[in-house]
Chains A and B, each alone.
Chain A
Amino acid sequence: MKTYISSRKYYFLLIIPIILLHSCNLFTPIISTYDSYAYTQTTSIKVDAINLMGMATEDYQSHKTDIAAVQNNIQKIYEYEKHRKHDTITVQQWKLLTDTTRHLFGGFIIKWRKEKQLDKGYIQDKEKEVGFAFDQIADLESKKIKPSDVKN
């Protein structure tokens, strides 16, 4: 009986620090866990964006609807990412990709609008850059810890 009480006493002495660590948020994740919807949307929008860029040899005005559709999908995933907890890195990546003052997808659309149509050589090089940017977002998402692997 004495041994039993003694073991239980030590058990609580060891368990209490763990509970305290939890309550101090020491084990709260720094970054969001993997989200299959975010990953699927990213790879899907990448395909749509690259396909759209391929149309830039033609007049901007004739593709306004296609452009708006891709921009709309990007806006939706951006809003989704913005509302996920601990997801600031991915949100920053989407901002960089779509910022119209920069030189990835956002900048490409502005250049297309200004110049009305773009050269095939330039488009192909830009597709590689924009593709790489999308891949960075998808790669980061794919490497996040799966929710089923998180122990609380």
Chain B
Amino acid sequence: MPIDIQGILTQLEQQIASLAKTSVKNYATQAQSDGQAILTSMKADLVDWTNQVANGTLKASDIPDLIAGDSDNLKMAALTQIGLAEIEADQFKQSVLDLITKTITAAI
């Protein structure tokens, strides 16, 4: 019996589209949550440093260096997010490859 190639391609197209939507949505939610956590932490740091200067445990002259350190950590976290996006893309490609292999194997 000949294989329904058109049917397989339509099925693959729908499944890949659904896979892409889920992957992007999951990544976007995680990235947004991570970004928010970093900003919240930076705000808390500023308040903390100001209090430390007030009670004499930190020199005011050290604050610019600490702020610059937080800024470097923003870059560090941004690099992590780029890396996570790349991992997500690799996982998506792996899933597509799996999907194609399974669909074709099942059809033969």
- A residues touching B (Cβ–Cβ < 8 Å)? 3, 6-7, 10-11, 13-15, 18, 26-27, 29-31, 89-90, 92-93, 96-97, 102-104, 107, 111, 119-122, 125-126, 129-130, 132-133, 136-137, 139-140, 143-145, 149-151
Contact = CB atoms under 8 A, between A and B. Distances in A.
* Residue of B1, B2, B62 with most chain A CB atoms under a 10 A cut-off: B62
Interface in B50-108: 52, 57-59, 62, 65-66, 68-73, 75-77, 79-80, 82-84, 86-87, 89-91, 93-94, 97-98, 100-101, 104, 107-108
A123 to B, nearest CB: 10
A103 B59 contact: no
A130 B91 CA distance: 30
B87 A145 contact: yes
Contact of B87 (A7, A31, A107, A129): A31
Contacts of B49: 125
A132 B73 contact: yes
7 contacts: A7-B2, A11-B108, A15-B104, A122-B62, A126-B69, A129-B73, A143-B83
B87 A18 contact: no
B24 interface: no
Interface of B: 1-3, 5, 8, 45, 48-49, 52, 57-59, 62, 65-66, 68-73, 75-77, 79-80, 82-84, 86-87, 89-91, 93-94, 97-98, 100-101, 104, 107-108
A144 B93 CA distance: 14
A133 B72 contact: yes
Given A125-B62, A129-B66, A143-B87, 14 more contacts: A3-B1, A6-B1, A11-B108, A15-B104, A18-B97, A27-B93, A96-B79, A107-B65, A121-B57, A125-B49, A129-B72, A130-B69, A133-B72, A140-B83
Contact of B94 (A122, A143, A144, A145): A145
A57 to B, nearest CB: 13
